[in-house]
Amino acid sequence: MLAAKQPKPKTCKNPACRASFVPQRLGQAVCSPKCALAVVEVQKAKEKKSLALAGRREIEVRKEKLKTRGDHMKDAEKAVRDYRRTYELSIGSGCISCGESQESILHAQGWKTGGAFDAGHFLGKGARPELRLVPSNIWLQCKSCNAGSSKFARKGQTVSQGFRTGLIARIGLEAVEALEADHTPRKETIEQLKAITAEYRAKTKELKKRIAA
CA distances from 160 to 9, 24, 92, 102, 116 (A): 76, 81, 21, 19, 19
pLDDT truncated to tens, each residue of the chain (213 aa)? 455 577 888 999 998 999 999 888 888 999 998 999 999 998 898 888 888 888 888 888 788 888 999 999 999 999 999 999 999 999 999 999 999 999 999 988 877 777 899 999 999 999 999 999 999 999 999 999 999 887 777 888 999 999 999 999 999 999 999 999 999 999 999 999 999 999 999 999 999 999 998
The overall pTM is greater than 0.85:
no
Nearest 10 degrees: CA dihedral of 160, 165, 171, 175?
Answer: 70
The closest of 168, 166, 192, 189 to 179, measured between CA atoms, is 168
By the 10 Å C-beta count (0-12 exposed, 13-18 middle, 19+ buried), 105 is classed as buried
Q: Give residue 4's pLDDT.
A: 59
Q: Give residue 181's pLDDT.
A: 97
Q: Give residue 1's pLDDT.
A: 47
Cα-only R_g, the chain: 29
